[in-house]
Structure 1
């Protein structure tokens, strides 16, 4: 009888099964039996799951028993499937319960915590007057409550002559609102019926006249504790503010030492480590069991850190261009955490 822990990796659709199995199986250093499945593959009444596995180089699809642990790789905002799985396999045996984060709920969680000083003022779009907010702050960002990769994030910038520029991705305005026109009306047409947030704009530090953010990757490994594993800077293209469409990715220490004194760079890196772990703990309190996420920061012109958002399913391809970065560790650590949970 095979005594290796049986682990399930849940993906959105069957086309994704081979790739994620290749990555996780190739980089695991624990002795695990892995199979991949979709929510639709679960046969609740039979207590079985249709899964894909690879053994001796051959792919096989067959019925599996329920696993000991589930690693959720679906990008989901609903925890129902996870809750049902945990009724069968046990509490806290699935992780990444919800990884498509509700930005409004997360803002409130962070704002009410000891991290409030790092969070820009944020409001629900349909509950505020944009003109009044611009009177207090000439720069605002409007973003979907559910969103990723900078999609539909608008920059609202009031210029010195009181025109208001509405931009998407680049600094060049998509819409110009003259001072005798209604900004609210123009935005209502632009945004439609989606749920949006309005966030206080931060005057960001720049690197050679290009905007950058700081992304901290936080994962759990073989001891089940949150740890920071990588801190990078994503540098946007010139004349762009969306760092998700980045021109370069660098190790953060390299960039911080170019724009800050050595002492200040060390202080910022220490804060990034501490604050990111605390943010991950707050997210887990709100979202349920998690095993990995990224925290995005910007540095303002006074060298103060601000948390811009958290991502429950971090982009892993941004690390491919980093010199000396062990890409395999991105997938090895979740497998270490899987093994840790299987032994509890």
Structure 2
């Protein structure tokens, strides 16, 4: 971070800031406020500043924060913002509820951005989107053995996790051989004894909570499994919208498409998959949009005031859309290879929604 210019917290700067309707970016600490620089180029009517939970002065309703103006960092005190975007990974619902008692209901968004895979599954299993989910269960040894007897393969995923960390693939062959793989197709453990498999898993999983999930046989392009990251964001009208679509090509040696080595636009890949069926390709893209918007709306109703999600879907070998995962703090930078206009839309939409919250009264 560049050198910070420190302003007198009791000087003229406070008079200046009182006239403005600020948008606040909640960050883990002021030392980790670099995300502000990415959004600063997109601010318009309401200027931005970054602050941390430790920089809030509740009695005076003031905040010590950072602004990024003309390529310089300034540290000063600010009034409470009119809207807050949570950029911390985790659960900030209690903190932001306290803010909303002063700045108004529904003025803080993405207060929760670390989702439990099992909780997401339970919510969506009680919705019109149930048929798009892979069958899933809470992990225990008995259920895994029964699951493998039925499906022959299973994914084991931690309730909390990202970037493919801690995901295992287990397979039972027709000859009764169990194989355990970690990130790559090559097995790390092979046995004919189910007790030995379970003992190995117990060592690796420990006390972490896991779920058992049906394996989805993904479509492939050039022998690479593919999935789609769809960005769903609330826009300047307060409505959910599809703002980005990315196809991720897994490494040929890996079953995890989120460990991708190549990306492309969704329309390009659908044209490759269905070269003589443009109507089918268009119908699949429209259905992906419908599913992702519906999932976002369902989770918003449950958790309250989410404004951006990264939803991972794929197409299976039967041309059916399958939902893989929902990400509460999706990276925008994975879209950089699709060009600056795509990135601009993602960052601008976040600010546009924050502006919407500043300008509009939202019912509790």
TM-score bracket relative to the smaller structure:
over 0.9
Which shows bigger deviation, 80-89 or 221-230?
80-89
State whether structure 2 residue 234 is matched by structure 1 residue 243: no
State whether structure 2 residue 341 is matched by structure 1 residue 294: no
SS state of the match for residue 41, structure 2? helix
User: In the alignment, what sits opposite 2:49?
Assistant: 35
Matches within 5 A, 1:3-14: 3-14=19-30
User: In the alignment, what sits opposite 1:66?
Assistant: 80
SS state of the match for residue 208, structure 2? coil
User: In the alignment, what sits opposite 2:215?
Assistant: 201
Which shows bigger deviation, 255-264 or 121-130?
121-130
Q: How many Å apart are 1:253 and its aligned residue?
A: 1.3
**TM-superposition CA deviations, 1:288-323 (whole Å, max 9, x none):** 211111110121110111111100111222111124
> Does the aligned pair in 1 maintain the 2:22–2:46 contact within 8 Å?
yes
State whether structure 2 residue 278 is matched by structure 1 residue 278: no
The separation in 1 between residues aligned to 2:35 and 2:109, in whole angstroms, is 16
Which of 196, 205, 212 in structure 1 is aligned with 2:226? Answer: 212
Q: 1:132 to 1:182 in 2, by over 3 A?
A: farther
SS state of the match for residue 113, structure 2? coil
User: In the alignment, what sits opposite 1:26?
Assistant: 41
Which of 177, 189, 195 in structure 1 is aligned with 2:191? Answer: 177
User: In the alignment, what sits opposite 2:174?
Assistant: 160
SS state of the match for residue 59, structure 2? helix
User: In the alignment, what sits opposite 1:326?
Assistant: 342
Q: How many Å apart are 1:57 and its aligned residue?
A: 4.1
The separation in 1 between residues aligned to 2:45 and 2:316, in whole angstroms, is 46
User: In the alignment, what sits opposite 1:336?
Assistant: 352
Which structure is larger by alpha-carbon Rg, 1 or 2? 2
SS state of the match for residue 266, structure 1? helix
Q: How many Å apart are 1:58 and its aligned residue?
A: 3.3
Q: How many Å apart are 1:16 and its aligned residue?
A: 2.3
The separation in 1 between residues aligned to 2:259 and 2:175, in whole angstroms, is 30
Q: 1:138 to 1:56 in 2, by over 3 A?
A: same
> Does the aligned pair in 2 maintain the 1:297–1:305 contact within 8 Å?
yes
> Does the aligned pair in 1 maintain the 2:244–2:342 contact within 8 Å?
no
SS state of the match for residue 249, structure 2? strand
User: In the alignment, what sits opposite 1:189?
Assistant: 203
Q: 1:87 to 1:128 in 2, by over 3 A?
A: farther
User: In the alignment, what sits opposite 2:104?
Assistant: 90
State whether structure 2 residue 65 is matched by structure 1 residue 51: yes
Number of aligned positions between the proteins? 342
**TM-superposition CA deviations, 1:8-28 (whole Å, max 9, x none):** 1001222221x2221111123
The separation in 2 between residues aligned to 1:264 and 1:324, in whole angstroms, is 29
Q: 1:180 to 1:38 in 2, by over 3 A?
A: closer
The Cα RMSD (Å) is: 1.7
Gaps of 5+ in 1: none
Q: 1:323 to 1:20 in 2, by over 3 A?
A: closer
Q: How many Å apart are 1:179 and its aligned residue?
A: 4.1
Q: 1:35 to 1:128 in 2, by over 3 A?
A: farther
Which of 195, 215, 237 in structure 2 is aligned with 1:223? Answer: 237
The separation in 2 between residues aligned to 1:42 and 1:10, in whole angstroms, is 10
The separation in 1 between residues aligned to 2:171 and 2:32, in whole angstroms, is 41
> Does the aligned pair in 2 maintain the 1:131–1:183 contact within 8 Å?
no
The separation in 2 between residues aligned to 1:49 and 1:225, in whole angstroms, is 30
State whether structure 2 residue 307 is matched by structure 1 residue 309: no
The separation in 2 between residues aligned to 1:228 and 1:180, in whole angstroms, is 45
